[in-house]
Structures are given as C-alpha cells and as structure tokens.
Amino acid sequence: MWPVLQKDRGADEIHLYCLESPGEMPALPEEIEEAKEDSVSFHNGWGPKRILTEDGKVTGVEFKRCTSVFDADHRFAPKYDENDTIIVKADSVLLSVGQSIEWGGLLSGSRVELGRGGNAYADSLTLQTAEPDVFVGGDCFTGPKFAIHAIASGKEGAISIHRYVQPGQSLVFGRDRREYHAFDKNNIAIGIQDFDMTPRQRPGHSPEKKGTFQDERMTFTEEQLKKETERCLGCGTVEIDSYKCIGCGLCTTKCKFDAISLERTYDTVPNTYEKLPVKIATNAIVRTGKIAATTLKESVVTRS
C-alpha cells in the first residue's frame, strides 16, 4: 500500500506515509520535490495498521514501523515491527494501492502459470506461455510498466502468433533479443566533454496551478530547448581524417539519405617537388638510398 495521504485536522498540511525509505520510494525525484513544494510532508518507513473511525467517520490512522520492504531478491515483501506504532489524526485518508491482474475465468482449464500479482509466466523472447497457443504481453506479463513496453511486446507477440500458425516456422529463429547494456558512464574511455554529462533541462512551474491537481509543468523556453538538444551524444557523427581525405566527394554520392556533405575549411595548394622544404628532401634522399641498398643486397643474395 503506497502512499497513504492524509490531511491533519485543522491543518493545511498533507502528510504522506509510505513503507519505503526515501531512496526506495517509487517516485521520480522531481515528483517528490513538487509534492514537497505543495506542502506535502513525507514520513518514510511506516505501513498502515488500521484506520480509526468514530461515528462512521475517519478520525486517524495507526501506522506500524516498516523495517524492510524487499526480500533478498528485491521482491516486494514488507516486514514490520508490530510494537513500534504511531497514531496520526486525520479527517480524510487517501489510499494508493498497487495493481494486479484479474483474469476471471479467462484461463480456466489452461496450463498458463501465474506468478506474483497474477502475472502470466511466458518466454521472454517469444512471449509464449506454458499453454503453447497462448501468448501474453504488456502489464499482464511484466506487471505495471509503461505503454511503450506494452506496445513493443504486442508487436513481438503478434510475430510469435503469426509464426505459430504457419506450418514449419520457428518461434525463435532470427529473433532479436534486444539485450542492451548501459555504458558505465563513470568508466567510459572517451573524453568527458564528448559525453552526455549535461543534466536534463527542468521545466518551469506555473504558479497559478499550484495547489490544484493540474500539471504545473510548463514547456521549455527556447533557450532550454537549445540546451536540451545540445545534449545529443553525436553518436552518428563522423570525423574526417584530413590526412587521408582527398576531398573527391565520392562518399557524398553513396549516402542515399544525403547525410554527407563536404565543406571547404581551408584553401591550400600542395608544394611542388622543387619547393619541398630541405628537411623533406633530405628524408627523400635517405629513403631512396635505403631502397637502392636493399635492392642491391637482394640481387646479391639471389645471384649467390
């Protein structure tokens, strides 16, 4: 149960009690910050024991100390100290609860296996369940996540179903597992100035929406927008090795997206042989001598 919101009697403050410690709270830092700006006080490490009532109306909540929220495998398994309790007066209480799947009779008689919160077990690549012709995706497979994950798994599930109904097809052949590994930004062997170290821009807040349930965030200003777009990693950029590129422009004709263009950065005319600096001429003489010596040596070896 997370969080318990509660408004004190006679006070304008809103108190939020939750099981998690500040670092464990399932909320974005800006969400917590915005709530604090709206005079929400946070009380971490408390779980609801009972709601107190009088004449059919809520008068408060008794909380018990939550000693830990997750087990060793980071699964939600809250533990409490039942003797460490507090009673907080309140005239209204808002409960925010988790989400689980209600399958009803949909899976009756099937071999589909269910886990925590009623999520269906399935192969992570094919989304096939223990019942071969049942495929799952979205929240009923992953638990509460994001729309984009549900859409992606819907597409993968559709591919699996298509293959399943086509005789002789493999569910796994040529499938992309999409296993991405994030860079360790702190140990990356590129110049720190090249990497995305600039913090995200934060939107401003509209004061007139304060204290309402409307989104206070405003759009970026032009300056913020420019800064945000400059955070691009430039992963697609190619630097021309000016010692190798002869400026023929052939590369510009090969890119079908017209992404390559040449820009003249300076004008130069190469020196003629006669005008080469003396040092280069000396090197050329030494090199010519070495080639002549090697050629002579090889011809002597060949004759003998």
Ligand X SMILES: Cc1cc2nc3c(=O)[nH]c(=O)nc-3n(C[C@H](O)[C@H](O)[C@H](O)COP(=O)(O)OP(=O)(O)OC[C@H]3O[C@@H](n4cnc5c(N)ncnc54)[C@H](O)[C@@H]3O)c2cc1C
Which of 106, 240 has the CB closer to ligand X? 106
Closest CA to 28 of 116, 137, 146: 146
Which of 90, 127 has the CB closer to ligand X? 127
Determine the Cα–Cα distance for residues 146 and 139; give it in Å rounded to an integer. 8
Interface residues with ligand X (CB under 6 A) are 104, 106, 138-140, 145-148, 150
Which of 79, 145 has the CB closer to ligand X? 145
Q: How far is the CB of 116 from ligand X (least distance, A)?
A: 16
Closest CA to 40 of 252, 156, 168, 213: 213
Identify the helix (H) or strand (E) that includes residue 65: strand 57-70
Which of 84, 215 has the CB closer to ligand X? 215
What are the structure tokens assigned to 193, written together? 């100035």
Q: How far is the CB of 125 from ligand X (least distance, A)?
A: 18
Which of 116, 287 has the CB closer to ligand X? 116
Identify the helix (H) or strand (E) that includes residue 80: strand 76-89
Determine the residue with CB nearest ligand X: 138
Q: How far is the CB of 104 from ligand X (least distance, A)?
A: 5
Q: How far is the CB of 112 from ligand X (least distance, A)?
A: 13
Contact 14, 41 (CB under 8 A): yes
Residue 45: CB atoms within 10 Å: 19
Strand extents, DSSP E, 107-205: none
Q: How far is the CB of 124 from ligand X (least distance, A)?
A: 15
